[in-house]
Amino acid sequence: MTEEDFVAIDCHAHVFTRDLPLAGERRYAPDYDATIAQYLAMLDDNGMSHGVLVQPSFLGTDNSYMLEALTSMPSRLRGIAVVAPDIETDALQVLDRQGVVGVRLNLLGRPDPVFTSREWSRHLGDISRLGWQVELQAEAGRLPALLPPLLASGCTVVVDHFGKPDPVAGIDDPGFRYLLSVGKSRQVWVKLSAAYRNGSAGRAIAQAAIPLLKAEFGLDRLVWGSDWPHTQFERVANPAEARQILSIWLPNAAECDQVLDGSPRKLFRFGG
C-alpha cells in the first residue's frame, strides 16, 4: 500500500444486520441493516479510503460479523472488538491476526470495571503487550476514576465522542477538564465524533472543546469518526455532514489531514 492510497480514515463505524443474535443486556436493538457492502459504499461516496469498525454493544462479544468484514478487506479495514475480560491470551492473538487492534469498553449504563482485580490486570496486560488500544465510552464525570488504572497498565486509551462532557456543563464539566489534564501522558487519544451524542448543545460543545483538545493533546492525538450508521440518531445525522463538520471544526486543511490520516494511521495499524 502506497502513500497515495491514503485519503481519509474513518475511525468509528458499526456494521450489523437486524437478524444477528443480540446480547442479553442491551439498551438498543436495530430494526434495519448496516451491511459491510453499505459501509464500503459509504466510504467511497464520501472520499474515505479506510475504516475502523467498532463492535456494536448490542451484539455483545459475538464479533463474527465484524470479523467477516475485516477478513474481506484486510488492507482497508481494522476492528475494535468487544470481549470478556477472562478471554484467553491465545484468543486475543487470533483476533490480532484478523485485523483487530483494540477492545471496546462501552460503559454507558454499566458499572465501572474493577481494573485492579486479578482478572482485569491480566487482561489489560495482554492488551498492552499486543500494542492494542482500549476504546472507552463513558460520561466525562467518570473519567477521573477510569483513566488512571488504564494508564497505569500501560495501555493506549482512545476516548470516544469528545469525552462525553455533560450536556449542560459542556467544557466546564470537571470530568472533561480532567481529560484535558491527561493529554501530556501521550497515552490517550480523543475521537472528534458524534457531537450529537452530547445533547442538543453537542455541536456548540464540540466547537468549544476542539481548541482545548488541540492545545492539551496535540493534533497527533486527535482522530475522527463518522459514527456511521448513527445508531439512535439516524434522523439527525449522516456521514457526508459528519465529514463536512470536521472541516468547519478544523478549517486549516493541513490540520484536517492530520486528524484524518496522520494521527490514526499508526494508531490503527494502517500501512505497515
pLDDT digits (tens, 9 = 90+) for 98-151: 999 999 999 999 999 999 999 999 999 999 999 999 999 999 999 999 999 999
Tell me, rounded to whole angstroms, the distance of Cα 174 from its chain centroid.
Answer: 22
Tell me, rounded to whole angstroms, the distance of Cα 136 from its chain centroid.
Answer: 7
**In whole angstroms, how far apart are CA 68 and each of 77, 89, 112?**
11, 21, 30
The pLDDT, as a whole number, for residue 115 is 97
C-alpha cell of residue 147 = 483513566
Mean pLDDT, to the nearest integer, of 238-266?
94
Residue 129 DSSP label: H
Please count the other Cβ atoms lying within 10 Å of the Cβ belonging to residue 29. 10
Inform me whether the pLDDT recorded for 24 exceeds 90: no
Mean pLDDT of the chain: 94
9-268 adopts what CATH topology? Answer: TIM Barrel (3.20.20)
pLDDT digits (tens, 9 = 90+) for 35-49: 999 999 999 999 999
User: Is the pLDDT higher at 28 or at 113?
Assistant: 113
pLDDT digits (tens, 9 = 90+) for 84-93: 999 999 999 9
Inform me whether the pLDDT recorded for 72 exceeds 50: yes
CA distance 128 to 97: 16
pLDDT digits (tens, 9 = 90+) for 160-197: 999 999 999 999 999 999 999 999 999 999 999 999 99
The pLDDT, as a whole number, for residue 3 is 43
2: confidence class by pLDDT, cuts 50, 70, 90: very low
Going by C-beta distance under 8 Å and a sequence separation of 6 or more, which residues neighbour residue 142? 107, 112, 175
Domain ranges of the chain: 9-268
CA distance 184 to 51: 27
7: confidence class by pLDDT, cuts 50, 70, 90: confident
Inform me whether the pLDDT recorded for 1 exceeds 70: no
30: confidence class by pLDDT, cuts 50, 70, 90: confident
The pLDDT, as a whole number, for residue 5 is 55
CA distance 15 to 53: 7
23: confidence class by pLDDT, cuts 50, 70, 90: confident
